[in-house]
Amino acid sequence: MIRVILPHHLRTLAQVSAEVELSVEGAATQRSVLDALEARYPMLLGTIRDQSTQQRRAFLRIFACQEDLSHDSVDVPLPAAVARGDEPLMIVGAIAGG
């Protein structure tokens, strides 16, 4: 299972309280994990990536294993520790705003 940690406002929107666990078909990549996340929680459609362009929203980043994966290709396999479920994939909102 892939573990995903959502930012506060998306946990509220999806009505989940902690980590989300997802089973992903095939290789675990940013794209496949987000596909699985949105399929299970359709209210998150459009909140992490644009529904038409699939571009990540500008004020969000993707972290895992102490690395910023935001600028990696969305089709690159995620770190093995994430694929095994040892480490979570973190979707992080920029620290900004009032």
Partner 1 sequence: MSKARVLVGTRKGAFVLTSDGRRKQWNVSGPHFAGWEIYHVAGSPADPNRLYASQSSGWFGQVIQRSDDGGKSWAPVGNKFDYDGVPGTHQWYDGTPHPWEFKRVWHLEPSRSDPDTVYAGVEDAALFRSADGGQNWEELSGLRKHGSGPRWQPGAGGMCLHTIILDPGNPSRIYIAISAAGAFRTDDGGKSWRPINRGLTSQYIPDPTAEVGHCVHKIAMHPSRPDVLFMQKHWDVMRSDDAGDEWREVSGNLPTDFGFVIDVHAHEPETIFVVPIKSDSEHYPLDGKLRVYRSRSGGNEWEALTKGLPQENCYVNVLRDAMAVDSFDECGVYFGTTGGQVYGSADGGDSWEAIVHDLPAVLSVEVQTLS
Indicate the residue type of 70. S
Closer residue to partner 1 (CB): 51 or 66:
51
Q: Does 9 bind partner 1 (CB under 8 A)?
A: yes
Q: Which of 17, 51, 55, 66 binds partner 1 (CB under 8 A)?
A: 51
- Which helix (H) or strand (E) segment holds residue 60: the answer is strand 60-64
Q: Does 84 bind partner 1 (CB under 8 A)?
A: no
In b/e form, how buried is each residue of 6-43, taking b as 16+ CB within 10 angstroms? Answer: bbeebbeebebeebbebebeeebbbbbbbbbbbeebee
> Could you give the 3-state DSSP secondary structure of residue 43?
helix
Closer residue to partner 1 (CB): 3 or 49:
49
Q: Does 13 bind partner 1 (CB under 8 A)?
A: yes
Q: Does 12 bind partner 1 (CB under 8 A)?
A: yes
Which positions touch partner 1 (CB under 8 A)?
7-10, 12-13, 43, 45-48, 50-52, 57, 59-60, 93-94, 96-97
